[in-house]
Chain A
Amino acid sequence: MSMEEQKEKADWPREKPKRDKRGQKGSIEVDMNPMVDLAFLLLTFFMLATTFSQPQLMELVMPVLPEEEDVEQEQPVKETQALSVVLGEDDQVYWYVGITQPEVHQFAWDEQRVRQVLEEAQNNMSELVLLIKPMEASRYENLIDLLDEINAVGIERYAIAEVTKEDRALLPAD
């Protein structure tokens, strides 16, 4: 490599190769702007199309449906263990302890109050069994929120149960 050539290499980006008037061999400069524009357009598109927030899953385990011959063997829940939470229409929450002739409490959905009830039950009742009883007209969101609170408080024995005739009789008719 001659000295001249080396020099040329060293300051290559700075100095453009001088255009030869006689017109030959100069490297052609391509306008890259459109390509770059396109590249960035695609980049933006894919960045926006990517699903960043994946939905969360909540696991729900339902009890095995009792076979007809098993019904007798079902263990009844003791009165002192049972806390029932009924989700009603218009975000109403009813809760009571026990099964026969309990004292029914009612309030409109409020996360703090729900948590308070659950925490108290968790601390004061031994072998707590929580029965969630959503009425037909109750909203799905309330059920999810309640399950969320149950998980937060750490109640392990809970089940979604049917609202029975007895439960309905306890609720204020409207």
Chain B
Amino acid sequence: MFKTNIPVKTPKPDMNPMVDMAFLLVSFFMLTTTFKAAEPILIEKPQSQSELKMPERGIATITVGEEGRIFFTVDGKYTRKKLLKMMGDQHQIDFSGTEQDEFALLPSVGLPVEQLPGFLALNPQQRKGVDQPGIPCDTARNELSDWVVLTRVANPGVRIAVNADKDTPYAYIDRIIRTLQHNKIYRFNLITELESTE
């Protein structure tokens, strides 16, 4: 009789369109991603219903930890280079070109300025191990003030944002607000997270 000779092959789907799509998405995400800058310390942001989104550029952030340590950062490599140079001039420290380049890549600074050259000489892995004491900000010595003022010189359009942990005692926030007020910065932003509505 007849022998039916149907091949038991699974049809092979054409994967090209899928691959095309996958690569298209990969390139899209690669180009649009801006990586989260590593936060120097863990900050649990307070929640609010504010609808103002944080801009991606032109923002200087003052981070305050629960124990009051202050970190400072501003976006933009050129701004940062310029900032370090001016900071060096102010404090009679001569930062070399390599140190400026290193600083441009530094996520944030939380050291008195005279400790910066030593810190910049370390490699990124070693830097992680350094427990930064925070930027001095009191009446005797207020380096935060210099950082803020010089950042505004380096990039006049910069906006100042305060990123504080929700459990920070107000006394630490007060120091920062006062510093800003003394530098004639009356309008600034507080970073919060969108309140989750249950």
Which of A's residues lie within 8 Å of B, judged by CB? 13, 32, 35-36, 39-40, 42-43, 46-47, 49-51, 53-65, 87, 134-141, 143-145, 147-148, 151-152, 160
Q: How far is the CB of B11 from the nearest CB of chain A, in Å?
A: 8
Q: Is the CB of B32 within 8 A of A60?
A: no
Q: How far is the CB of A154 from the nearest CB of chain B, in Å?
A: 13
Give the nearest-CB partner of A138 in chain B: B170
B190: interface (CB < 8 Å): yes
Q: How far is the CA of A63 from the CA of B165 in the complex (A)?
A: 24
Give the nearest-CB partner of A135 in chain B: B170
Q: Is the CB of A140 within 8 A of B164?
A: yes
Could you pull out 8 A-B pairs where Cβ atoms are within 8 angstroms? A32-B19, A36-B19, A39-B22, A59-B190, A60-B189, A62-B187, A140-B167, A147-B48
For B32, the chain A residues whose CB sits under 8 A away are 50
B82: interface (CB < 8 Å): no
Q: How far is the CA of A143 from the CA of B177 in the complex (A)?
A: 13
Q: Is the CB of B25 within 8 A of A148?
A: no
Sorted nearest first, the 6 A-B pairs with minimum C-beta distance are: A46-B29, A141-B166, A136-B171, A144-B46, A134-B170, A39-B22
For B30, the chain A residues whose CB sits under 8 A away are 42, 46
Interface size of B by CB at 8 A reads 53
Give the nearest-CB partner of B66 in chain A: A140
Give the nearest-CB partner of A89 in chain B: B169
When each residue 164-193 of chain B gets 1 if its CB lies under 8 Å from chain A and 0 otherwise, what string results?
111111110110010011101011111111
**A32-B19, A50-B29, A140-B173 known; A56 and B186 CB under 8 Å?**
no
Question: Out of A55, A64, A143, which one reaches B173, CB within 8 Å?
Answer: A143
Q: Is the CB of B169 within 8 A of A136?
A: yes
For B33, the chain A residues whose CB sits under 8 A away are 46, 49-51
For B173, the chain A residues whose CB sits under 8 A away are 134, 140, 143
Q: How far is the CB of A47 from the nearest CB of chain B, in Å?
A: 6
B141: interface (CB < 8 Å): no
Q: Is the CB of A148 within 8 A of B189?
A: no
**A43-B22, A58-B189, A140-B173 known; A152 and B49 CB under 8 Å?**
yes
Q: Is the CB of A58 within 8 A of B177?
A: no
**A137-B169, A141-B167, A145-B46 known; A51 and B36 CB under 8 Å?**
yes
Q: How far is the CA of A58 from the CA of B30 in the complex (A)?
A: 30
Question: Out of B54, B168, B169, which one reaches A57, CB within 8 Å?
Answer: B54
Question: Out of B34, B50, B188, which one reaches A51, CB within 8 Å?
Answer: B34
Q: How far is the CA of A152 from the CA of B197 in the complex (A)?
A: 15
Q: How far is the CA of A151 from the CA of B25 in the complex (A)?
A: 40
Q: How far is the CB of A45 from the nearest CB of chain B, in Å?
A: 8
B67: interface (CB < 8 Å): no
Q: How far is the CA of A32 from the CA of B161 in the complex (A)?
A: 48
Q: Is the CB of A56 within 8 A of B177?
A: no
Known: A57-B191, A140-B169. 7 other contacts (CB 8 A): A36-B22, A39-B19, A62-B177, A134-B170, A145-B47, A148-B49, A151-B49
For A59, the chain B residues whose CB sits under 8 A away are 50, 52, 187-190
For A147, the chain B residues whose CB sits under 8 A away are 48, 190
Question: Out of B164, B182, B189, which one reaches A65, CB within 8 Å?
Answer: B182
